[in-house]
Structure 1
């Protein structure tokens, strides 16, 4: 049904004065994380109206936002300690981007910063002048996200099909955070977005993973006490087994 709706949109002939438009939808709206979750792939299908040969498409998937505190390691008397810190507000815990061409060939830095598109512009606010000191902290955030596969970029990850249809594949790693996600699709023309559309995705725990997650977040003190007791019982059982041998 999803593909039929997208195909119907792409087959409609636009009028000469009709504004370009774009739409997209994920093949699944909910991802369940169970005990054996090893990551998964999401496919976003979309269609455009008024697409020209000069137009480009960008797909962005953003995870739940969080505030980050990044600290610089400094060496003091031969020991590495935490130094000065920087705060970053509303940083996506997951961020993946796919585009029909590399971003620097699609739009200017100003347009990308305004829409927070691209890893290089993820922590930059419109009108903000980057300084060398802050750039180091931003690169540290990007490296940490890339190390966990939580930040990803595919410069040619959007495949444009016949009739104005397109497709993009996005990967969710095993460490995918739970929460509400937003998938955004942009149609760029002459370096600026002329149409956009967004859709939502829910990532949630399921099965035993959900019970543990709800226990840990709903009753944190009791959960901590339970873990301590469990660790003591495991230690006692191990000691008893080795004592018999």
Structure 2
């Protein structure tokens, strides 16, 4: 279950060093009815899920629309993601408003905001399996905040929440084979390579190769801190 508002949830490991990161394309594709794909299920208020030394992982709210549109409009950020650029502000406003009633306890995708001192810098999505013991994650970070350890810090805490607070057995992730920094991030976090799906996903006019990763709760508990790995 998510932690009550304002309560910090500590993961099993503490981040001590920075590491670069790019987006992971494990994103939901939900038809909005307006001809575009909604890329995250967003909560309704400013409820805080957990906090780290520098970051807050919380629900999205209406004031996030401009920042969301800005980083999703960046070609560097969107390169390996399923959405096209630019990402209009109107679309971001509609996205936030249309998905404000999402329920993180229900199977399917739900997304949380990554907040740095009141500024939205990215998001983490989790797709809960209907058995509620497995999930898939996806993540995006604005370009200006990459390479500073924020993705490692946010994901370390979030995985700790999934495994220790919600009791998940397994978390999976995937990324474009060319997205080397994202793959390295997953590996630093303890994810194990589970295969390559060749020409599996159609993104931006081309078939792309998809790397598959998985992490078990037992492996998470046994793995040393991601922050102790070389950057």
With structure 2 as the length reference, what TM-score do the two structures score?
0.30
Rg larger for: 1
**Structure in which a larger fraction of residues adopt helix:** 1
**Structure in which a larger fraction of residues adopt strand:** 1
With structure 1 as the length reference, what TM-score do the two structures score?
0.29
